[in-house]
Amino acid sequence: MTRTAPAPQTARVALQRAEKLSARDRTVIGVLLVAAFVVILNETIMTVAIPVLMKDLHIDASTGQWLSTAFVLTLAVVIPVTGFLIQRMTTRQLFLLAMGLFSAGTATAALAVGFPMLLVARVIQGCGTAVMFPLLMTTVMTLVPESSRGRMMGNISVVISVAPALGPTISGLVLSVLDWRWIFWLVLPISLAAMALGAWLMSNVGERRRVPIDVLSVPLAALGFGGLVDGLNAIGEVASGPGTSPAAIWLPMGIGAVALAAFLLRQVVLQRSDRALLDLRALRSRVFAFSVTAGAFAFLALLGSAILLPIYLQNVLHVTPLATGLLVLPGGVIMGVLGPIVGRLYDRHGPRALLIPSALIGTAALLLLATVTETTSLWFVLAGHILLSIGLAGVLTPLFTAGLSAVPDRYTSYGSAIFATVQQVGGAAGTALVVTLLAILSAAGRAAGVAAAPAAASGVRLAFLVAACVFAAIVVLAVFITRDESAEPAALPAHA
């Protein structure tokens, strides 16, 4: 009897069953997702608390801002090293290191008796956070088959979008009834529980390689990425505070540019013998390079608007911090809800079908927000933010999935580190851009005799308009981002 070939539908079902994650793999990813949610939540939880800390710790605004700046600087310095750490350490070791550092920093912050102790605590927290995101992305790319990566990345986008949106809301709620230290006391048991859960359930995935560390690359990376982000953050301080010297911008950026050039050149030399701290051969993938660039633009608009909206709501519309947190919450929740849906659509249709319309939606939302005035309705602002969140939800998941899927397995950890580093630099650039534009237009308006609120509103409009132009560039880049990579660097020799 002649055996007939299986129908395409039957073959597809059989393939999907074969590619299902094991219980162990689902547990590993689940634990990482919970831990990532906790540490990413911490990135925005201080934004509403800074005015309270200024009063309680007797510090000015520029000093208080360092609680956020130091955290971001730590991420920019540590993340480039995570590609090497993922190669050398097991998944369980790295997870415990990340959560241990984050928990220690959280406990130190809760016990802080002054600003210096609190600042050190934020740096320790940042070290743990910096390890977690690349570890999560690398683990997912290692365990999840390509046909299901969109769906899994959609779940990750829930963490990336909802956690930062919840930060200001939770902080506002806590500060309305409790001391600021309770922001950390409430996070600490969740962090310790996640670490204990990981210690119990976490398994090791992937293969480790005994890659020697290049001692010179570490300080070069710290000076390069740290100096660049510090200079970008200082732009906002110089623009908004006339007492700050422009040297606060050019000195760290100049040092950062020289160190970063030296770091990149050294990595190109070291990767010929597989000794690079951050192997740049992942960037030989056209899809990955375009995805990283588009990701930088997306995070510039995302974090830029995340800074701009609270400033506009509180300084122009005179909304309370708690109401501000509640108003931006729906956008984050919608991004979280759309994440898995976008992931499933990616698995069916690929990145381009999602990126182009989503980038257009995000651009339209930013253009709408660029029309706000000192009398704009809160409902209009809410609608604009929700529309922007829809656009971002359709952009982030395809960029992460398509970009990292185009990187060969041996470079995945480095690709995750590159993506996360560029994300931080893009976010810092977005913050610097919007704060600078806001400060310049506000100052010009006041000099012309315009009242404070209308002057600030004009700066907000310009900042949103520039952010819209940046976001529109994703439409152009999306044309070059496809699911399939025609010339994978996987075929490159080890010592290319």
Residue 389 belongs to some domain of the structure: yes
CATH number of the domain that residue 170 is part of: 1.20.1250.20
pLDDT for 211: 66
Domain region containing 254: 22-203+212-485
Residue 2 belongs to some domain of the structure: no
pLDDT for 340: 84
Residue 103 belongs to some domain of the structure: yes
Q: Would the pTM count as exceeding 0.95?
A: no
pLDDT for 253: 85
pLDDT for 240: 56
pLDDT for 13: 41
- Cβ-contact 156, 346 below 8 angstroms: no
To 5 degrees, how large is the angle CA 30–CA 35–CA 37?
95
Residue 409 belongs to some domain of the structure: yes
CA distance 24 to 485: 30
pLDDT for 18: 43
Residue 494 belongs to some domain of the structure: no
CA 37 vs CA 99, 114, 156, 201, 473: distances in Å? 12, 28, 9, 18, 29
Residue 239 belongs to some domain of the structure: yes
CA distance 272 to 290: 24
Tally of structural domains, the chain: 1
Residue 1 belongs to some domain of the structure: no
pLDDT for 294: 92
Counting as low any pLDDT under 50, the low residues of the chain are 1-18, 485-496
pLDDT for 14: 40
SS3 per-residue string spanning the chain: CCCCCCCHHHHHHHHHHHCCCCHHHHHHHHHHHHHHHHHHHHHHCCCCCHHHHHHHHCCCHHHHCHHHHHHHHHHHHHHHHHHHHHHHCCHHHHHHHHHHHHHHHHHHHHCCCCHHHHHHHHHHHHHHHHHHHHHHHHHHHHHCCHHHHHHHHHHHHHHHHHHHHHHHHHHHHHHHHCCCCHHHHHHHHHHHHHHHHHHHHCCCCCCCCCCCCCCCHHHHHHHHHHHHHHHHHHHHHHHHCCCCCCHHHHHHHHHHHHHHHHHHHHHHHHHHHCCCCCCHHHHHCHHHHHHHHHHHHHHHHHHHHHHHHHHHHHHHCCCCHHHHHHHHHHHHHHHHHHHHHHHHHHHHHCCHHHHHHHHHHHHHHHHHHCCCCCCCCHHHHHHHHHHHHHHHHHHHHHHHHHHHHCCCHHHHHHHHHHHHHHHHHHHHHHHHHHHHHHHHHHHHHHHCCCCHHHHHHHHHHHHHHHHHHHHHHHHHHHCCCCCCCCCCHHHCCCCC
CA distance 189 to 224: 35
Residue 165 belongs to some domain of the structure: yes
